[in-house]
């Protein structure tokens, strides 16, 4: 690169160019245009505002005459004596003297129309139109000019009322009204008071309806003025602003709001009329400026070419940089342009380096994203299969425990320990699957109106075994009624039970737990408070996140996966509420507060009846009357124990472990009910049900699904396949027996 030529700062080149070409013309044009525009515009605005003010004054004068005539009529002795028929004739005579009046009305203070001069005395009268001005007269006892109202007849005639109060003894007795047609205002608006700059003169009522107009009145009278007109005229009593007319033309609007009628008089002028002086001044200034510009441009032409060439090179170099090519510039006499060339070269080098880094980072990010998506999908599949695989072995264990209980062999402390720990495992599985559903947005609610106390009662029943085991004292202060919420009863019970269980686990034996509820901030507040180990301040903000737990000892005596409180927050927020945690510190207990929206109505909690196991009568348990149940499950232990439990409950049972066995047993056993495991090998439960229907036809049993899958999609699929019930492993024994027993009175045939 050759040595750069001597250069000056770019600002000096620009100053010389501006002084030599544009500055004289710009200064001269600015001074002339400003002075002309300021003087001519202000004078024109004053003229049109005066014209609008005179129009408003003329309207008020016209309305004052009508008001005085009505006030004189209001002094009629007929009104004192209540001779309304005679007053009807007198009002008609007065109306004929007033060309602008359409008819006269007399209205009682309660809004009843007593007479209307357009109707014969005694004829049925229509209701009072335009109620707002009538109400204002009743409230203020002052004359009022009402707004434009459109009739309900086929002609859709428009009119506006002028109302005056009829006072007797200081009290309002009647409201006397003259109904005036907008046509009577044509002479008012058709009397210009200024020069030819006016285009349209308009009267607009207090509600923004066009009452009179010099231009196309038949087209616009009775229509609402533009929103911009109403906004500007309400902001001040007088003024001028630019707008678009109802015709769609650009105009200036000068307005004046009359008092006390609160109508608005407007003078609308085309913008070209007010802007003409300014435009003329601008043209004059522009012409002179052009002359000066051409004179200065000739002297700057030679010098500007050199500057133009350097700027063009800089532009080409920047374009090359944008395309990814190395920029190149010749040495320039302008210092800033020379520096710009050097900066573009350095930028090109840095850009190539950044592009290489960006490509590497993008590749790494895409790889990480693909791995994260794959891991998320694998996690979802794993959680679903984990729930199914855990429920399958739990099912025979739960059923076996129930069999032992019915045989009277489950009364030992060891059996109680097994039952308690088994319930804990089932709850952990349910919580884990619920958390997976929430993460995928698949957890749905079945909300209905209910009393909070009903959910509290069920939650206490669920948590009381743990509370009793740890010898806690539970205090409950929840009203049986008056706390209505719109909620999913099962999920709300789960929220309260999780909070009670959490307090029980983290409170030393012999502690105190308090559960109370009441109204707060327009909603329902439920509080669970304990005197347990409390919360560290740094833990509180993260407490409701999944898998976050307080400090644990090595033996993990509290148990749990750290998802109970995360479920609480997700379920409460799904109900439109929120949950908060508070603690004074470690060892000082904790308090959890749930707020839910109050519902306007709720069903009163029904008293819970003691659950009874179905007991078959002697006639029903006879060989010919016993309900026959076919259990099909590839888990031999689960099938055998469930069949044994059903047999102990008075039902005749048969067992199969695959599709061929199920078809054979169905043909020979002829069951009334078939409990089918959905996850059978080779042919699943849906296929087994379909094949049984093909063989037995109308003699097919009622089908119920028996599965470890519990998502809403699984329930919907089993229902669509004709299954009457969807039982999730491990089965609620009482629910199963109640379902089978419900089929005893009359079987409906195939499901």
- Please say which residue of 580, 597, 614 terminates a domain: 597
Candidate ranges 6-15, 247-256, 355-364, 666-675; pick with highest mean pLDDT = 666-675
Q: Which of these, 109, 86, 77, lies nearest to 175 by C-alpha position?
A: 109
Instruction: Answer yes or no: do 121 and 151 share one domain.
Output: yes
Write the burial class of residue 447 (CB in 10 Å: 0-12 exposed, 13-18 middle, 19+ buried): middle
Residues 6+ apart with CB under 8 A from 22: 293, 296
Instruction: Answer yes or no: do 452 and 422 share one domain.
Output: no
pLDDT at 616: 45
pTM of the model: 0.39
- Mean residue pLDDT of the chain comes to 78
- Let me know if residue 20 belongs to a domain: yes
- Residue corresponding to tokens 């026959």: 628
pLDDT at 547: 60
- Let me know if residue 568 belongs to a domain: yes
- Please say which residue of 597, 614, 631 terminates a domain: 597
Helices and strands counted in the chain (H then E): 19, 23
Q: Cα(329)–Cα(321) distance, rounded to whole angstroms?
A: 12
Q: Tell me the sheet residues that pair with 241.
A: 253
pLDDT at 557: 46
pLDDT at 609: 44
Instruction: Answer yes or no: do 269 and 391 share one domain.
Output: no
Tally the domains of the chain.
3
Instruction: Answer yes or no: do 391 and 530 share one domain.
Output: no
pLDDT in tens, 556-606: 344 555 677 888 888 898 889 999 999 888 888 999 999 999 987 644 444
Q: Which run of H or of E encompasses 673?
A: strand 673-677
Angle at alpha carbon of residue 572, lines to 499 and 733, rounded to 5°: 65
Lowest-pLDDT choice from 51-60, 407-416, 727-736 = 407-416
- Let me know if residue 605 belongs to a domain: no
pLDDT at 469: 86
Instruction: Answer yes or no: do 572 and 650 share one domain.
Output: no
The residue-averaged pLDDT of 537-555 equals 65
Q: Cα(94)–Cα(738) distance, rounded to whole angstroms?
A: 88
- Let me know if residue 321 belongs to a domain: no
- How many other CB atoms are there within 10 angstroms of residue 88's CB atom? 20
Residue 161 or 324, more confident: 161
- Residue corresponding to tokens 């304990």: 530
- Let me know if residue 437 belongs to a domain: no
At 715, which CATH number? 3.40.50.2300
Handedness of CA 206, 260, 76, 173 (dihedral sign): positive
pLDDT in tens, 429-442: 666 666 566 555 55
pLDDT at 728: 83
Q: Cα(623)–Cα(643) distance, rounded to whole angstroms?
A: 17
Instruction: Answer yes or no: do 570 and 668 share one domain.
Output: no
The residue-averaged pLDDT of 650-673 equals 91
pLDDT at 90: 92
Q: Tell me the sheet residues that pair with 200.
A: 268
Instruction: Answer yes or no: do 450 and 417 share one domain.
Output: no
pLDDT in tens, 61-98: 888 888 999 999 999 889 988 899 899 999 999 999 98
Instruction: Answer yes or no: do 270 and 361 share one domain.
Output: no
At 485, which CATH number? 3.30.565.10
DSSP structure string for 76-97: -HHHHHT-HHHHHHHHHHHHHT
Q: Cα(468)–Cα(511) distance, rounded to whole angstroms?
A: 11
- Let me know if residue 436 belongs to a domain: no
Instruction: Answer yes or no: do 686 and 579 share one domain.
Output: no
pLDDT tier for residue 132 given thresholds of 50, 70 and 90:
confident
Contact 555, 548 (CB under 8 A): no
Instruction: Answer yes or no: do 582 and 693 share one domain.
Output: no
| Tokens found for residue 277 | 């002086």
Instruction: Answer yes or no: do 213 and 79 share one domain.
Output: yes
DSSP structure string for 203-232: EE-TTSBEEEESSSHHHHTTSBPPHHHHHH
Alpha helix (H) residue ranges in 323-406: 335-406
Candidate ranges 419-423, 434-438, 739-743; pick with highest mean pLDDT = 739-743
pLDDT at 147: 86
Instruction: Answer yes or no: do 415 and 454 share one domain.
Output: no
- Let me know if residue 708 belongs to a domain: yes
Q: Which of these, 161, 156, 155, 97, lies nearest to 128 by C-alpha position?
A: 161
At 156, which CATH number? 3.30.450.20
- Let me know if residue 339 belongs to a domain: no
Residues 6+ apart with CB under 8 A from 131: 111
Expressed as residue numbers, the domain containing 369 is: 355-426+623-751
- Please say which residue of 254, 276, 292 terminates a domain: 292
- Residue corresponding to tokens 């030393």: 508
The residue-averaged pLDDT of 316-321 equals 71
């Amino acid at each position: 690169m050759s040595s750069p030529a001597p250069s000056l700062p770019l600002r000096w080149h620009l100053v010389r160019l501006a002084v030599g070409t544009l500055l004289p013309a710009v200064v001269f044009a600015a001074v002339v245009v400003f002075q002309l525009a300021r003087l001519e515009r202000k004078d024109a605005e004053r003229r049109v505002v005066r014209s609008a003010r005179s129009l408003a004054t003329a309207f008020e004068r016209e309305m004052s005459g009508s008001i005085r005539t009505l006030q004189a009529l209001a002094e009629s002795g007929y009104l004192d004596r209540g001779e309304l028929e005679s007053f009807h004739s007198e009002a008609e005579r007065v109306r004929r003297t007033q060309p602008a009046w359409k008819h006269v009305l007399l209205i009682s203070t309660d809004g009843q129309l007593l007479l209307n001069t357009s109707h014969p005395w005694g004829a049925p009268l229509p209701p009072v139109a335009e109620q707002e001005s009538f109400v204002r007269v009743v409230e203020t006892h002052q004359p009022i000019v009402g707004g434009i109202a459109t009739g309900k007849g086929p002609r859709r005639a428009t009119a506006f009322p002028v109302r005056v109060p009829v006072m007797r003894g200081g009290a309002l007795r009647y409201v006397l009204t003259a109904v005036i047609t907008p046509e009577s205002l044509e002479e008012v608006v058709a009397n210009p008071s200024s020069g030819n700059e006016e285009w349209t003169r308009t009267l607009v009522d207090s509600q923004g309806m066009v009452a009179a107009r010099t231009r196309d009145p038949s087209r616009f009278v009775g229509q609402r003025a533009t929103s911009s007109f109403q906004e500007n005229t309400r902001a001040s009593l007088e003024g001028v602003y630019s707008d678009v007319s109802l015709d769609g033309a650009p105009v200036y609007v000068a307005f004046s709001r009359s008092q006390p009628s609160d109508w608005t008089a407007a003078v609308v002028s085309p913008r070209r009329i007010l802007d003409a002086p300014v435009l003329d001044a601008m043209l004059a200034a522009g012409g002179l400026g052009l002359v000066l510009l051409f004179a200065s441009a000739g002297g700057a032409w030679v010098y500007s070419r050199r500057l133009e060439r350097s700027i063009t090179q800089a532009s080409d170099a920047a374009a090359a940089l944008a395309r990814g090519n190395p920029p190149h510039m010749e040495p320039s006499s302008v210092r800033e342009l020379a520096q710009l060339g050097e900066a573009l070269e350095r930028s090109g080098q840095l850009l190539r380096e950044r592009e290489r880094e960006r490509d590497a980072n993008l590749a790494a990010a895409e790889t990480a994203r693909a791995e994260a998506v794959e891991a998320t999908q694998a996690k979802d599949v794993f959680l679903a299969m984990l729930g199914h695989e855990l429920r399958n072995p739990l099912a025979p264990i739960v059923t076996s425990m129930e069999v032992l209980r019915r045989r009277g062999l489950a009364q030992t402390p060891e059996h109680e320990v097994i039952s308690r720990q088994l319930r804990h495992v089932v709850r952990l599985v349910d919580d884990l699957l619920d958390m997976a559903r929430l993460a995928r947005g698949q957890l749905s609610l079945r909300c209905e109106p209910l009393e909070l106390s009903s959910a509290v009662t069920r939650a206490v029943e669920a948590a009381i075994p743990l509370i009793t085991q740890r010898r806690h004292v539970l205090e409950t202060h929840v009203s049986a009624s008056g706390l209505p919420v719109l909620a999913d009863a099962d999920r709300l019970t789960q929220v309260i039970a999780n909070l009670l269980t959490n307090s029980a686990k983290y409170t030393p034996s012999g502690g105190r737990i308090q559960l109370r509820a009441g109204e707060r901030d327009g909603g329902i507040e439920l509080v669970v408070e304990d005197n347990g180990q409390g919360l560290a301040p740094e833990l509180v903000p993260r407490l409701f996140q999944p898998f976050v737990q307080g400090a644990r000892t090595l033996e993990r005596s509290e148990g749990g996966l750290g998802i109970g409180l995360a479920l609480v927050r997700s379920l409460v927020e799904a109900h439109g509420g929120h949950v908060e945690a508070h603690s004074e510190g470690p060892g000082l207990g904790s308090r959890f507060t749930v707020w839910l929206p109050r519902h306007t109505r709720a069903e009163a909690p029904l008293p819970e009846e003691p659950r009874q196991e179905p007991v078959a009568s002697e006639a029903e348990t006879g060989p010919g009357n016993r309900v026959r149940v076919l259990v099909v499950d590839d888990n031999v232990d689960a099938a055998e124990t469930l069949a044994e439990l059903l047999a102990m409950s008075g039902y005749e049972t048969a067992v199969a472990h695959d599709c061929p066995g199920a078809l054979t047993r169905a043909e020979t056993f002829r069951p009334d009910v078939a409990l089918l495991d959905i996850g059978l090998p080779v042919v699943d439960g849906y296929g087994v049900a379909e094949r049984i229907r093909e063989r037995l036809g109308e003699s097919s049993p009622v089908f119920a699904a028996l599965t470890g899958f519990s998502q809403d999609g699984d329930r919907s699929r089993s229902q669509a396949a004709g299954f009457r019930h969807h039982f999730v492993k491990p089965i609620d024994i009482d629910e199963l027996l109640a379902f089978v027993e419900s089929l005893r009175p009359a079987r409906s045939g195939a499901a």
